Structure 1
Amino acid sequence: MQFSQKNAKIFMHVDGDAFFASCEQATNMQWRGKPIAVGRERGIVTAISYEAKALGVRRPMSQTALSREFPQVALLASDYRKYELFSERMKSIVRRYVSDISEGSIDECFADVSSVTTWSDVRGFAKALQEELCIKLGLTISIGVGPTMTIAKIASGFKKPRGLTIVTPENLDMLNSVSLRKVPGIGGRTEQKLAEQGILTIGNLLALAPHEIERRYNKPLVELAYELRGTSVRGIEARENAQSVSSIQAFMEPIIAFAPLLTEFSRNIERVCRKLRTQHARMHAVTIGYKAFPDIHTLVTYTIKCPSPTNDPGTIMQLAEEALHAMYRKGVRYRAVYVGTHGMLESAAQQKLFTTAEDETEEKRNTLNDVVDTLMYRSGGLPLERASSLRPKQTRSEEDTGTPLLKIPHSNKILNIPYLGTIQ
Structure 2
Amino acid sequence: MSFQRSIVHMDLDTFFVSCERLLDSRLNNKPVLIGGTSNRGVVASCSYEARRFGIHSAMPMRLAKQLCPEAIILRGNSGIYTKFSQNVTEVIKDTVPLYEKTSIDEFYIDLTGMDKFFGCHKLASELRQRIIKETGLPISFGLSVNKTVSKIATGEAKPNNEIRIISGSEKPFLAPLSVKKIPMVGNVTYKALCDLGVKRIKTVQDMPMELMHRVLGKNGLVIWKKANGIDNSPVVQYHERKSISTERTFNKDTTDVTKLKGIIVAMAENLAYQLRRGNKLTACITFKIRYSDFQTYTQQQRIPYSAMDHTIIPVVLDLYQKLYNRRLLVRLIGVKFSHLVEGGHQINLFEDNEKQLRLIEAIDKMRVRYGDRAVINAAGMDAKSISRWNPFNGEPPPLLANRRQ
1:200 and 2:206 matched: no
1:238-253 matched pairs, under 5 angstroms: 238=237, 244=243
Deviation (angstroms), 1:139 = 2.1
In the TM superposition, 1:172-191 aligns within 5 A as: 172=170, 173-191=172-190
Specify the alignment match of 2:89 in structure 1: 91
Residue in structure 2 matching 1:54, options 33, 52, 66: 52
Once residues 137 and 144 of structure 1 are traced to their aligned partners in structure 2, the CA distance between those partners, rounded to angstroms, is 20
2-structure distance, mates of 1:217, 1:223: 10
Gap runs ≥5 in structure 2: 246-280, 287-296, 328-334, 340-350, 354-405
2:149 counterpart letter in structure 1: I
Structure 1 position 14 matched with structure 2 position 10: yes
Q: CA deviation at 1:303?
A: 9.1
**SS at structure 1 position matched to 2:156:** coil
Change beyond 3 A, Cα 1:87–1:243: closer
Counterpart in the other structure of 1:23: 19
User: 1:53/1:196 Cα in 2 relative to 1: closer, same or farther (>3 Å)?
Assistant: closer
CA-to-partner distance for each residue in 1:211-252, whole Å, 9 max, x for gaps?
A: 554565533432343344333322122558986268xxxxxx
Cα distance between partner residues in 2 of 1:269 and 1:182 = 28
Structure 2 CA distance for partners of 1:205 and 1:98, relative to 1, 3 Å: same
Cα offset, 1:75, TM superposition: 0.3
The 5 A counterparts of 1:112-127 are 112-117=110-115, 121-127=119-125
Structure 1 stretch displaced more, 216-225 or 25-34: 216-225
Q: Does 1:35 align with 2:31?
A: yes
Instruction: Give SS of 2:133's match.
Output: helix
- Identity between Structure 1 and Structure 2 (%): 22
Counterpart amino acid of residue 152 in structure 1:
S
* 1:48-74 CA-partner distances (Å, limit 9, x unpaired): 112222344334444444444433211
Q: 2:147 aligns with which of 149, 170, 187?
A: 149
Partner Cα separation in structure 2 for residue 114 and residue 324 of structure 1: 53
In the aligned structure 1, how far is the partner of 2:14 from the partner of 2:163? 18
Partners in 1 of 2:285 and 2:132 — Cα distance? 26
- One-letter amino acid of the counterpart of residue 183, structure 2: P
Structure 1, unmatched stretches of 5+, are: 1-5, 247-267, 274-283, 305-316, 327-337, 343-403, 407-424
What SS does the aligned partner of 1:340 have?
A: strand
Q: Is the 8 A contact 1:10 1:119 kept in 2?
A: no
* Structure 1: distance between partners of 2:52 and 2:325: 47
SS at match of 1:46: strand
Task: Determine if the alignment matches structure 1 residue 108 to structure 2 residue 106.
Answer: yes
**Equivalent residues of 2:6, 2:143 under 8 A apart:** yes
1:101–1:111 Cα contact (<8 Å) kept = yes
1:13-412 equivalences under 5 Å are 13-41=9-37, 43-117=41-115, 121-172=119-170, 173-210=172-209, 213-214=212-213, 217-238=216-237, 244=243, 296=309, 300=313, 321-323=322-324, 339-340=336-337
Contact 2:37 2:75 in 1 (8 A): yes
> Match for 2:206: what amino acid?
A
Summarize deviations over 1:84-118 as a string: whole Å, max 9, x none.
11111112212223222221111111111113237
Tell me how far apart the structure 2 counterparts of residues 298 and 87 of structure 1 sit (CA, whole Å).
19
Instruction: Tell me the alpha carbon deviations over residues 316-367 of structure 1, each in whole angstroms, 9 at most, x when there is no partner.
Output: x9988314999xxxxxxxxxxx85259xxxxxxxxxxxxxxxxxxxxxxxxx
The Cα of 1:183 is off from its aligned counterpart by 1.0
TM-score (ref. length: structure 1): 0.56
Q: CA deviation at 1:131?
A: 1.0
Q: Distance in 2 between matches of 1:163 and 1:324?
A: 55
Matching residue's letter, 1:186: V
CA contact (8 A) 1:13 1:109 kept: yes
Per the alignment, in what secondary structure is the counterpart of residue 204 of structure 1?
A: helix
Distance 1:215 1:59 in 2: 33
TM-score (norm 2): 0.58
Kept in 1: contact 2:299–2:323 (CA 8 A): no
Paired amino acid for 1:82: I
Aligned residues of 2:101 and 2:108 also touching (Cα < 8 A): yes
**Residues 180 and 110 of structure 1, relative CA distance in 2, 3 Å threshold:** same
Distance in 1, matches of 2:155 and 2:53, equals 20
Helix, strand or coil at the partner of 2:243? coil
Alignment partners' CA distance in 2, 1:80 and 1:161: 22
Q: Is the partner of 2:150 in helix, strand or coil? A: helix
2:140–2:162 contact (8 Å) kept in structure 1: yes
For the aligned residue pairs, the C-alpha RMSD in angstroms reads 4.2
Q: Distance in 2 between matches of 1:166 and 1:45?
A: 32
